[in-house]
């Protein structure tokens, strides 16, 4: 049986797994808590380890090495960012910690314009906090959604008594002793605590000269998640993900992709030849009962990526009008006009849109066209659906737009 040795950074004792260290030990893993990995020798296939308590060093041999170092937070260049009343968030673990840390704080400022920040805003709303959201001069969720979605999200937040500042950039955070004064370029806002969305950078310095990486320390991997050394794999915040809409590798750590990479590596180190299928960077959130989902490219980002793209947005009910009730779904499809390949989609509704979003995600991954999605077979039962699923109707609207252009 293979011997598994797990080394955990002494500064990060949390195990991000469903199994405790004791449970992993029972399964045969050799857990090394409270130790630092100081270096790697790929020729001798050894890692140098230093104990945290006694500074003693030792070497461990490996046959296969998996680099699973988490990313580090990179704070924005704001004066006052180091205040004890400022909390940085880069992932869901940080967001959960921010909620716990803010139990006694009543006025909260959230500075960020990503799904994690918006989800945290809604969580604070549910806890009865007074929340102000700063999007730093951008429409809400501008990088994930078209303008109509941003407008509707703003309406929801405003109706929930959340202050939203979209036309100003935060330039300073002033710790006044009892809280934080958030100073954008157009005024000032006093709050108990400021939550700031942080960017991420890889924590891979000990692997410099061991495997190929870019100037930012992002480790390059192939489709089998192998680095330039075939006996060393890299997953999670240490490496890139393959972004299917553009076909390029990008650095944007995602929990779901990290889990998928880990499963692939586990199979490949045991003789498998499993390839990574890439990601659409699908995201979703719930704003006070309204679901929002985005996957792939927005129209603006598709054009920035060099695609001759087009977009269509429609709104229709998720099930037949003769049913006692139904709910409208706002939906958008983006495609590459040269091949009609689907590049992205967005949806917004009080109806659960998750499975329909998953359907479009598979289409993007498989490089399917708008014609394919027009007639893809879906379940029909009036309680749940229409003869043509609303995603079919969205694709039909895209095809109709293409046909209209060709007939001119």
DSSP letter string, 320-366: -TTSS---EEEEEEEEETTTTEEEEEEEEESS--HHHHHHHHHHHHT
**Average pLDDT of span 82-90:** 92
* 27-47 pLDDT per residue, tens: 888 887 778 889 999 999 999
Q: Are 295 and 357 in contact (CB under 8 A)?
A: yes
* 332-350 pLDDT per residue, tens: 999 999 999 999 999 999 9
Sign of CA dihedral 352, 354, 360, 362: negative
pLDDT, residue 321, reads: 83
Q: What is the mean pLDDT of the chain?
A: 90
CA angle 116, 120, 125 (to 5 degrees): 150
Query: Which residues have CB under 8 Å from 173's CB, separation 6+?
Result: 78, 79, 80, 81, 83, 86, 180, 181, 182, 183, 194, 196
Residue 9 half-sphere exposure, CB side, CA atoms within 13 Å? 14
Q: Does the pLDDT value for residue 8 go beyond 90?
A: no
Q: Are 198 and 91 in contact (CB under 8 A)?
A: no
pLDDT, residue 115, reads: 93
Q: What percent of the chain has pLDDT over 90?
A: 73
pLDDT, residue 195, reads: 95
Q: What is the CA 295 to chain-centroid distance, rounded? A: 11
3-state SS assignment for residue 33: coil
**Average pLDDT of span 35-62:** 89
Does this model's pTM top 0.95?
no
**Average pLDDT of span 238-263:** 93
CATH among 3.30.1510.10, 1.10.110.30, 2.60.40.10, 3.30.390.30 for 286-407: 3.30.390.30
9 falls in which pLDDT band (50, 70, 90)? very low
Q: Does the pLDDT value for residue 404 go beyond 70?
A: yes
Angle of helix 390-407 relative to helix 354-365, nearest 10 degrees, comes to 50
pLDDT, residue 25, reads: 82
Domain ranges across the chain: 4-68+203-268, 73-200, 286-407
Q: Are 146 and 346 in contact (CB under 8 A)?
A: yes
Residue with tokens 């004792």: 13
CATH fold for domain 4-68+203-268 = FAD/NAD(P)-binding domain (3.50.50)
Q: Are 373 and 393 in contact (CB under 8 A)?
A: no
Q: Does the pLDDT value for residue 64 go beyond 60?
A: yes
Q: What residues pair up with 328 in beta bridges, in sequence order?
A: 317
Residue 376: C-alpha distances to residues 27, 29, 356 (Å): 44, 46, 12
408 falls in which pLDDT band (50, 70, 90)? low
Q: Does the pLDDT value for residue 12 go beyond 80?
A: no
pLDDT, residue 14, reads: 43
CA 400 – CA 376 distance, rounded (Å)? 16
**Average pLDDT of span 354-361:** 95
* 161-183 pLDDT per residue, tens: 999 999 999 999 999 888 999 99
Q: What residues pair up with 211 in beta bridges, in sequence order?
A: 208
16 falls in which pLDDT band (50, 70, 90)? very low
**Which of 50-59, 337-346, 394-403 comes out lowest in average pLDDT?**
50-59
| Fold match, 4-68+203-268 / 73-200 | yes
Q: Are 388 and 360 in contact (CB under 8 A)?
A: no
pLDDT, residue 106, reads: 94
pLDDT, residue 15, reads: 38
Among candidate residues 154, 178, 181, the one with its CA nearest the CA of residue 170 = 181
3-state SS assignment for residue 120: helix
CA 66 – CA 236 distance, rounded (Å)? 10
CA 201 – CA 241 distance, rounded (Å)? 14
CATH among 2.102.10.10, 3.50.50.60, 3.40.50.150, 3.30.465.10 for 73-200: 3.50.50.60
Please give the residue that has the higher pLDDT: either 13 or 387: 387
pLDDT, residue 18, reads: 63
pLDDT, residue 128, reads: 94
């Amino acid at each position: 049986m293979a011997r598994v040795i797990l080394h955990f950074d002494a500064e990060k004792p949390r195990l991000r797994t469903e199994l405790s260290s004791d449970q992993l030990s029972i399964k045969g893993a050799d857990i090394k808590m409270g130790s630092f990995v100081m270096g790697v020798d790929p020729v001798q296939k050894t890692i140098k380890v230093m104990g945290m308590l006694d500074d003693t060093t030792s070497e461990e041999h490996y046959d296969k090495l998996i680099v699973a170092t988490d990313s580090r937070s990179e704070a924005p260049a704001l004066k006052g960012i180091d205040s004890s009343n400022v909390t940085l968030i880069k992932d869901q673990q940080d967001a959960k910690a921010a909620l716990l840390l803010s139990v006694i704080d009543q006025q909260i400022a959230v500075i960020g314009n990503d799904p994690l920040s918006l989800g945290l805003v809604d969580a604070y709303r549910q806890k009865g906090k007074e929340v102000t959201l700063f999007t730093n001069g951008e429409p809400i969720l501008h990088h994930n959604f078209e303008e109509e979605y941003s407008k509707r999200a703003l309406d929801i937040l405003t109706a929930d008594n959340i202050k939203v500042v979209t036309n100003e950039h935060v330039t300073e955070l002033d710790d006044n002793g009892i809280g934080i004064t958030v100073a954008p370029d157009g005024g000032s806002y006093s709050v108990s605590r400021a939550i700031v969305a942080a960017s991420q950078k890889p924590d891979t310095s000990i692997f410099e000269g061991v495997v190929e990486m870019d100037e930012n320390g992002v480790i390059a991997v192939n489709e089998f998640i192998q680095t330039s050394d075939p006996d060393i794999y890299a997953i999670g915040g240490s490496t890139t993900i393959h972004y299917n809409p553009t076909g390029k590798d990008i650095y944007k750590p995602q929990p779901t992709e990290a889990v998928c990479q880990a499963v692939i590596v586990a199979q490949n180190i045991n003789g498998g030849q499993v390839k990574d299928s890439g990601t659409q960077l699908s995201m979703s959130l719930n704003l006070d009962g309204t679901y929002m989902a985005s996957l792939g490219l927005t129209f603006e980002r598709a054009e920035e990526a060099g695609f001759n793209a087009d977009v269509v947005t429609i709104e229709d009910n998720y099930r037949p009008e003769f049913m006692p009730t139904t709910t409208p779904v706002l939906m958008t499809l983006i495609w590459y006009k040269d091949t009609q390949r689907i590049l992205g989609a967005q949806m917004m509704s009080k109806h659960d849109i998750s499975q329909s979003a998953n359907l479009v995600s598979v289409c993007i991954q498989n490089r399917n066209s708008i014609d394919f999605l027009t007639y893809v077979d879906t379940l029909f039962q009036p309680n749940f659906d229409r003869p043509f699923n609303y995603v079919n109707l969205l694709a039909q609207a895209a095809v109709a737009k293409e046909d209209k252009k060709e007939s001119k």
